[in-house]
Structure 1
Amino acid sequence: MNAEQALVAASPKPADVRMLTEEVWASFLAEHGPLQVGTDPDFAPDWSASVTVKGEWNGVVALEMSTTGAQQLTRSMLALDSAAELVDGDLVDAIGEMVNMIGGNVKSLVRGPCRLSLPLVTAGRFLHGSSQREVVRLGCTWAREPLAITVHAGRPTPRETR
């Protein structure tokens, strides 16, 4: 088995990531309907969040969303009504918390001790390191808005961690 095959073999399986993501989503956001996985919408995300898993397995878990989806997620997670004014900090908190919960569950799927970073949230698309390989992609729709959850495996090169 070469290094890339070993990396894929040690990575979380798509069915497991899907199951835990659906469970997390249902626990916090069921009022707007279930997460529809498998739709794989083609969209340019307005918001992205990621957490890094480091240890015996190394990777990144990312969540990408539209602005409308991020606003709905924020209102649901913060128990705000539709008239409540949102600021970017509210979206950052909610999206970051959601990717943190999904990432923590992904961390539980991998072998050996690992640490989870604090979430990073940004406007636009998530960019992974060039030495990281996408091992799971869940294209989804929630509350009629597109989103994607990805898992990338591999350790970033020293240049990518600066």
Structure 2
Amino acid sequence: MNVLTFFDPSSADLETPDPEDVRMLTEDVWLALLGEDEVLLPRLVPPGSPFDAAGVWSATVTVTGGWQGVVTVELDEDVARQLTGTMLDIPGTETVADGDVADAVGELVNMVGGNVKSLMPGPSTLSLPAVAAGRAAFPSDVTEACRLDLAWRGAPVRVSVHIPQ
């Protein structure tokens, strides 16, 4: 089953993270935040497909220095709200505020991005997370180097790494 999509920017002499390493560290972060029973499952999505959730939360961090790239997490809105409730121990009967969702999704991308940064040549620094209620947009001067399409409780989750062209 092909759940990892990656592109080889052969025209550039850029290092890209190994997709299997990104998958493993994403799963480790997810389990650390949500517990051992909350696994991410692979999801088959054709290359080049946009993130297919109706409501989306997305967050990015930028790595600069010895290696440069952008790490993005996109979550179905229900996933983002459930993730937040679990992370912040909010009872299921209470409404999860958008500000709390932004904080939780930002923390998730910060942890995944920090782990990706540690895989790559350094020294590098990690930006603060940029979080949006909506899909992530990417500048035209980057290319997707790695993409994980996953599912949590049946809903879509995407982690991607973009590098300069």
Deviation at 1:31, TM superposition (A): 5.7
Aligned to 1:46: 56
Quote the residue 1:89 is aligned against: 99
Q: Contact 1:14 / 1:137 at 8 angstroms: preserved in 2?
A: yes
Counterpart for residue 111 of structure 1: 121
Matched, 1:6 2:7: no
TM-score by length of 2: 0.85
Confirm or deny that 1:151 pairs with 2:161: yes
Q: 1:26 aligns with which of 20, 31, 44?
A: 31
Alpha-carbon distance in structure 2 between the residues aligned to 1:144 and 1:80: 21
Query: How many matched pairs?
Result: 152
What is the identity percentage for the equivalent residue pairs of Structure 1 and Structure 2? Answer: 46
Please state whether the residue corresponding to 1:73 is helix, strand or coil.
Answer: helix
SS in 2 for 1:4: coil
Amino acid at match of 2:89: A
- Taking a change above 3 Å as real, the CA distance of residues 136 and 115 of structure 1, as seen in their structure-2 partners, is same
8 Å contact 2:90–2:96 — kept in the other structure? no
Q: Is structure 2 residue 31 aligned with structure 1 residue 59? A: no
Contact 1:18 1:37 in 2 (8 A): no
RMSD: 1.9
Q: Residue 102 of structure 1: SS of its match in structure 2?
A: helix
Relative distance call for 1:77 and 1:39 in structure 2 (3 A) is farther
Tell me the SS of whatever aligns to 1:141. strand
The residue number in structure 2 matching 1:37 is 42
Matching residue's letter, 1:129? P
Uncovered stretches (5+) of structure 1, i.e. residues with no partner: 156-162
Would you tell me which structure has more helix in proportion to its own residues?
A: 1
TM-score of the superposed pair, with normalisation by structure 1: 0.87
User: Quick check: 2:56–2:134 contact (8 Å CA) kept in 1?
Assistant: yes
Local SS of the residue matching 2:158: strand
